[in-house]
Chains A and B, each alone.
Chain A
Amino acid sequence: MGYFYDGILKAADMLLNMDAATFSAIEATLASTACALLCAMTFGLPLGFLIGYTDFPGKKLARLVSDTLLAFPTVLIGLLVYIFITYRGPLGHLGLLFTLPGMVIGQTILALPIIVSWTAQAVENLDPRCRQTLLTLGASPWQTALHTMREVRYDLAMVCVTAFGRVVTEVGVAMMLGGNVRYHTRTMTTAISLETSKGEFAQGIAMGIVLLGIAFIVNAALTWLRHRGRA
């Protein structure tokens, strides 16, 4: 257990002294996660809402596909995107491999099924009286959809937090598409993986503390929001 206590002390020292490598990994993680989440939300929220709110031929198939993609292994996503953006791949000329944008593509694909599937679920689970109430108050179809989305806003916030948690803690995509390049694409999770394999626990523990801290802050913010809205 001596390793562990030493690691905690060194981790505290690294965080307090703003260790450059540690903070570079934190920055890369937050930047790629934020971009991936933004992209996934932009496409995923409207798509999930449409699937949950409207009836159309093939709706069950769409749900089945998005639910199946929830179990998409991260390394498989990494592999598929790698094939496309590798220097010999169809998008190789864009030079995305081992860059943050390359990682963002993979992480967006990782987050998208969570957002689509759970947004659809949240809308489907909403009390059907909500839509009837809006219609009997004279809402137009557009207003009904908008207020329905507003009604599930706390569920959607929870969906986004879950997607954030999935992206910020994944290793496969970041390792395969980012390449774990120090001061560039090394994220908190790939740094933990690398440092642990070298027997250097301090940076790993420091990253772990930061990851837990971020998770705590995000969940605390969500709890505060829910309390404010008395959802």
Chain B
Amino acid sequence: MSKVFEIRSLRKEYGGLPALELSELDVMQGELLSLVGRNGSGKSTLLRMLAFLEEPSFGTLKYFGGADPRREVTLLLQNPYLLRCSVFENVTLGLRLRGDRADLSARYAEAMKAAGFACPEAMASRFSSQLSGGERQRISLASRIIMKPRVLLLDEPTAHVDAASELMILDTVRACLEQDTTVVCATHDRQLFAGFPSVREVELKRV
């Protein structure tokens, strides 16, 4: 397995106050990494840095990949945001941002089915205001996996969804791993990936 991220002596501060300290962590291609820890231990902060939304205050975070890492790594926020447009436009936005407009309808249907929607066509013209919390979460997930990312970062993906949606999200994660996607997931639930063949757990401590 090749290395995707290399973290050394990482420290993140906000206004001089430490939010995260991590001495060493390597993330490997195709693995499932579960970040656990109490509230305020820096799980979301680490994910945001891995998604290149924030820079470390100290230390190094290296990504081993292509020239445009933000198009290879994607993050699903804990409370995802859907744009004020249709489900179809939301799910295909990442592809359209890349100028990739080939076969959008088929790829939309494929991603939506992978996220647990039996009838993607029925959802296509609906708006975010017409969706339940679980649907919003899975649509946001579909908008990430349609891009076939190299690294999928998930921040508490099952925190606000019912049991059925949780199972569908876990099925989607399983399918991503089968395609050699690296998945890094922040969670409070140590049993979340109990049924998965291989999962590496990293516990973050409050600084």
- Which residues of the partner chain A approach B70 to less than 8 Å between Cβ atoms? 135-136, 138
Find the B residue at minimum CB distance from A229: B84
Least Cβ distance of B87 to chain A in Å?
12
Find the B residue at minimum CB distance from A139: B97
Cβ of B143 and Cβ of A230 under 8 Å apart?
Answer: no
Cβ of B84 and Cβ of A133 under 8 Å apart?
Answer: no
Q: How far is the CA of A139 from the CA of B68 in the complex (A)?
A: 11
Cβ of B84 and Cβ of A151 under 8 Å apart?
Answer: yes
Cβ of A136 and Cβ of B51 under 8 Å apart?
Answer: yes
Query: Is B75 on the interface with A (CB-CB < 8 A)?
Result: yes
Query: Is A198 on the interface with B (CB-CB < 8 A)?
Result: no
Cβ of A137 and Cβ of B97 under 8 Å apart?
Answer: yes
Query: Is A231 on the interface with B (CB-CB < 8 A)?
Result: yes
Find the B residue at minimum CB distance from A136: B75
Cβ of B143 and Cβ of A137 under 8 Å apart?
Answer: yes
Interface residue count for B (Cβ, 8 Å)?
Answer: 25
Find the A residue at minimum CB distance from B83: A151
Q: How far is the CA of A138 from the CA of B84 in the complex (A)?
A: 18
Cβ of B98 and Cβ of A133 under 8 Å apart?
Answer: no
- Which residues of the partner chain A approach B76 to less than 8 Å between Cβ atoms? 136
Find the A residue at minimum CB distance from B52: A135
Cβ of B129 and Cβ of A230 under 8 Å apart?
Answer: yes
Q: How far is the CA of A140 from the CA of B98 in the complex (A)?
A: 9
Cβ of A143 and Cβ of B97 under 8 Å apart?
Answer: yes
List 5 tightest A-B contacts by C-beta distance, closest first.
A129-B81, A137-B94, A138-B71, A230-B127, A136-B75
Q: Which residues of B contact A (CB under 8 A)?
A: 51-53, 68, 70-71, 74-77, 79-81, 83-84, 93-94, 97-98, 127, 129-130, 143-144, 147
